A and B are shown apart, each in its own frame.
Chain A
């Protein structure tokens, strides 16, 4: 979400507002929105019945009722034009890819109201924003180590780990930007 937040103005210029959804409660989402200084709404669907399941993103393998990560691009009028459904919790679409899809719709620039938040409450497994760069660096170097260890697995594994490393680098930069927005 932080990486999308840093490019929010580009999405608006291309004609698309951003809306994020999780299973977390509104107070938890208020905490994340405040902590990351998100300029778009983070919406709650705690039992997955109103958005996550109808949109086809429920992770049936996960007992915590979470969503698979992913994105849907929607044209004016509500027509879905493109979607990315993550294979697992670490598989997320690149921001450039999303922007390309929006740009392809040829829309006029749009605005988005500053989202409302309530009283923030950190979730039981919540991680502070300041700790996230360390978290992403750990993920990055684990991927690099595995890529080096399993070179014989071929191009698909090499390319996938490369994308993962690029993702963690973008997220580390985005967290720095979030801390600057918050200051």
Chain B
């Protein structure tokens, strides 16, 4: 399965994971509420 998602980075910019498909990646998900 191809992993694609969008999110907002800490500076408020749109982040597209598809822009980083040129290399390997580890996506880590955290519960937050920090």
Contacts and interface: CB of A to CB of B under 8 A. Distances in A.
A164 to B, nearest CB: 16
Interface stretch (A52-60, A136-144, A146-154, A166-174): A52-60
Range class of the B interface residue count:
20 to 34
Given A44-B9, A77-B21, A55 B34 contact: no
Range class of the A interface residue count:
35 or more
B32 A67 contact: yes
Highest count of chain A CB atoms <10 Å: which of B5, B25, B30: B30
Contact of A78 (B2, B30, B33): B2
B10 A76 contact: no
A12 to B, nearest CB: 9
Nearest to B1: A80
A7 to B, nearest CB: 10
A30 B13 CA distance: 12
Contacts of B24: 14-17, 73-76, 102, 105, 107, 110
B33 A72 contact: no
B3 to A, nearest CB: 5
A157 interface: no
B25 A117 contact: no
Contact of B9 (A31, A41, A46, A71): A41
B27 A71 contact: yes
Contact of B34 (A18, A46, A123): A123
Interface string A2-39: 00100000010011111111111011111111000000
A4 B34 contact: no
Interface in B1-34: 1-13, 15, 17-18, 20-34
Interface of A: 1, 4, 11, 14-24, 26-33, 41-46, 50-52, 54-55, 57, 59, 64, 66-80, 89, 98, 102, 105, 107, 110, 115-118, 123, 125-127
